[in-house]
Chain A
Amino acid sequence: MLAIYRKEMRSYFINPIGYIYLGVFLVFSALLCCYTTIISGSYDTSSYFTFLIMTFIILIPILTMRLFAEERKLRTEQLLLTAPVTITGMVMGKYLAALTMYVGGILISCINFLPLYIIAKQENADNATSLTHIGPITGEIVGSVIAVILLGAALIAVGTLISALTENQLSAAVITIGVIAVMVLLNVFNLLTDSDGQPIIGSYIVRSVIDWISVISRFSNFSNGIFDYAALLYYASIAFVFLFLTVRVYEKRRWG
C-alpha cells in the first residue's frame, strides 16, 4: 500500500496535474478570501468556506480522474493486481495520495486568514477601549477547516469510484464533475421560492430528501459556528461507502 501511495504522490508531481491543482486551488481560495472578507469588510469566514466548496466541483475531479482510469488504459493495473497487495490496499493507497494532495492544499490555503488577523490586530489596537471581540473567530475557522477536509474526503471517494468505473481520464473527470455538482448544488432547489415566497418544491418530503443528499446543507452548521459531529460522521460514511464500492468494483471485475 505504501509503495502505491508513494507512486501516486510522485506521479502528481512529475505530471503537471499536481501543480495545476495546487496552483488553481490556491489562486481560487485567495481570491475568494479577498472578496468574501477583506473587500466586503467582514471577519465572517462562513461564505468563504461555502464558495470554496463550490470550487471543488472542478478541482476534485482533477485529483481523482487519473487514479484508476489511467491504469486501466495502460494495462498497468495488471501489475498492481498481480502484486502481493490486497485490492483494499491498492484502493486506499491511491485514495490517501489524492487526500494528501487535497489536505495539503487546504492547509496551505490557511495562510489566507493571516491578513484577517493582521487587520484585526490593527483594529483592536485602534479601539483599545472596546470590549467587543473584533476579528475572525479562530474556533469557527478551525471547525470549518476540519469539516471542509472531511467533506472533500467524501467527494474524493466519489471521484475514486468513478475513476475505477471508466477507462478514460476525460470521461472520469466529466462524470465526476456532474456527480459532485449535483451533490453540492442540489439544495439550491430547496432555496428557490416563487413570487409569493413559497418554496418551488412544495413537498416537504422531497425537500428533506434533497437536503439529506446535499453535502452542503450539512455544512451550514459549521458556518454558524457549531461543530456538528453528525455531519462529520455523514461525510466519513460517504467516503467509506464509496471506497467500499470501489473495492467491490475491482473484486467484481476479477470474477467477471
Chain B
Amino acid sequence: MIKIEHLVKNYGAHCAVDDISFEVEPGEIVGFLGPNGAGKSTTMNILTGYLSSTSGKASIAGIDILRDPIGAKKLIGYLPEQPPLYLDMTVEEYLNFNYDLKCCKLDRDAHLAEVCETVKIKDVYKKVIRTLSKGYRQRVGIAQALIGKPKVIIFDEPTVGLDPKQIIEIRNLIRGLGKEHTVILSTHILQEVQAVCDRIVIINKGKIVANEKTENISHVVENNRRFNIKIAGPQKDILAMLKNMQGISYAEVLAERDGDAYTYMVESEYGVDIRKKLFYQLAERGWPMIGMEALGMNLEDIFITVVDKSEEVKLGATRNRIKRRARGTEKSALEREVGATLYEDAQRQRNESALTSNAEDEDDE
C-alpha cells in the first residue's frame, strides 16, 4: 500500500533522512519509532507531499507522490504533529471545510456524523475550536484525517500532551481504524507501538535500524531484565551480596530510602531469571525484601540494544574493510593514510601479543 524506496532528504548539509526504504501492507498498522529529530516527521511529511524528497521515491497504492501529488493526496488522511485547526471555526464548519477541501464524494451529513461518532466529538460539534480542550482538539484533528475514508492514515505523534485516559482512548481508536485503513503512526513512546502496532520501524539519525513485527521487538525487550528491589538491612553487605550473586550482571543502590530499607537496581544476565533465587538468598540472611518492581525497557534501552548492535556491526565491517585494504596491494592515498594508522595499531598489538605469548612460552618452559 505504501512503498518508500531509498528516500533521502537533505536540509543544506544536514541529512534528515538518509536512504530509507520500507513497505507497508494494506490493513497494517505500522509504528514509526525514534527519538526526537530522528527523521520521523520528515519522512511523514514527504509521504504526504508536504515536503519533497532530495532523492528516492515514495508511493501510495502505486501512485508516486511527486508524479501525481493530487492523486496520491486523495488517498491520504494526515494528522501532523500539531493538529492543523482553524481556531475561529466551529467543529462543524471545520469538518465541512475539510469535506470540501478533499472533494469528498460521500454523503455529507451521514459521513460527517459517522466520523464524529468514531472519534466521539458529537457533544462539541457546534462549539468553536478555540474553546476546546487539548484532548478534544486532538480528536478533531483525527476526525479531519478520517474525512473521505482515505485508504492510508498517517498520524504524527497522536497522543502527545494527552492525559492517560485520553491516550488509551486514542490508542483504541487507532487500533479500530486498522481494520479498514492502513495506518502509520509515529511516536517516541515504546508502549504505544507495542500496544497498537503490528509492525515497528525504528529510525535513528535518519536511518532505519530495525523493521520488525511487534512480537519480535518485544522479545528483545523481554530479554533484558532489570528490577528495582527494595530490601531492608545493612546497605553495604546487601550490595556486596548482590554484586557477587551469580546471574546478576549489575547492581547499584538508588537514592531512595524507606526507613532502613534501600532500593537497589539490579540487572540480570541475559536469559536468566534471578527473582526466586534472589528471594531465597535474601530470606536466608534475614534481609526482608519489601518490594520488587520490574523495569520495562524504555526507548533508550531499545536503542542501546538495537541501535548499538547495528552500529557496532557496521563499524566493525568498515574497520575490517580498511584493514584488509591496508594489507592489500592497491591503496589509494586516503586509504593508505587511514589504513596505515590502523595497520600500525594492529601490528603493535600483534607484536605485543607475540611478546606476551613468548613470555608465557618461556614461563612454560
Binding site for B on A (CB under 8 A): 2-4, 6-7, 10-11, 14-15, 74-86, 254-256
Contact = CB atoms under 8 A, between A and B. Distances in A.
A78 B89 CA distance: 17
A2 B294 CA distance: 57
B308 interface: no
B73 to A, nearest CB: 4
Interface stretch (B94-102, B250-258, B357-365): B94-102
Contacts of A78: 45, 50, 78, 80, 84
B245 interface: no
The dominant DSSP class at the A interface is: helix
Contact of B48 (A14, A15, A82, A85): A82
8 contacts: A7-B97, A11-B88, A14-B88, A75-B84, A79-B84, A82-B48, A84-B70, A84-B74
Nearest to B70: A84
Interface in B75-92: 76, 78, 80, 82, 84-89
Contact of B84 (A6, A76, A84, A255): A76
B52 interface: yes
Nearest to B75: A84
Interface residues of B, number: 30
Nearest to A4: B101
A85 B52 CA distance: 16
Contact of B52 (A10, A84, A255): A255
Contact of B49 (A2, A79, A82): A82
Nearest to A1: B101
A5 to B, nearest CB: 10
A83 B50 contact: no
Given A75-B80, A254-B50, 17 more contacts: A11-B86, A14-B89, A75-B84, A78-B50, A78-B84, A79-B80, A79-B98, A79-B144, A81-B49, A81-B50, A82-B78, A83-B101, A84-B71, A84-B101, A84-B102, A254-B51, A256-B51
Given A3-B100, A76-B84, A76-B85, A83 B73 contact: yes
Nearest to A81: B50
A160 to B, nearest CB: 19
B52 A254 contact: yes
Nearest to A89: B70
B70 A80 contact: no
Contacts of B48: 82
Contacts of A82: 48-50, 73, 76, 78, 80
Contacts of A7: 86, 97
A115 B74 CA distance: 54
Contacts of A255: 51-52
Contacts of A77: 84
Contacts of A76: 84-86
B88 A85 contact: no
Nearest to B87: A74
Contacts of A3: 97, 100-101
A200 B165 CA distance: 74
Interface string B45-57: 1001111100000
3 residue pairs, one from A and one from B, having the closest CB atoms = A3-B100, A79-B84, A76-B84
A14 B89 CA distance: 9
Contacts of A85: 70, 101
A4 B88 CA distance: 15
B13 interface: no
Contacts of B334: none
A74 B80 CA distance: 12
B103 interface: yes
Contacts of B45: 78
Contacts of B85: 74, 76
Nearest to A83: B101
Contacts of B73: 82-84
B106 to A, nearest CB: 15
A10 B48 CA distance: 27
A98 to B, nearest CB: 17
B8 to A, nearest CB: 13
A6 B49 CA distance: 24
Contacts of A15: 88
Contacts of B101: 3-4, 79-80, 83-85
Contacts of B100: 2-3, 6
B75 to A, nearest CB: 9
Contacts of B51: 254-256
Nearest to A93: B101
Nearest to A7: B97
Nearest to B154: A82
A74 B84 contact: yes
A256 B11 contact: yes
A4 B97 CA distance: 8
Contacts of A14: 88-89
A86 B70 contact: yes
Contacts of B144: 79
B82 A75 contact: yes
Query: Counting chain B CB atoms within 10 Å of each CB, which of A77, A79, A254 scores highest?
Result: A79
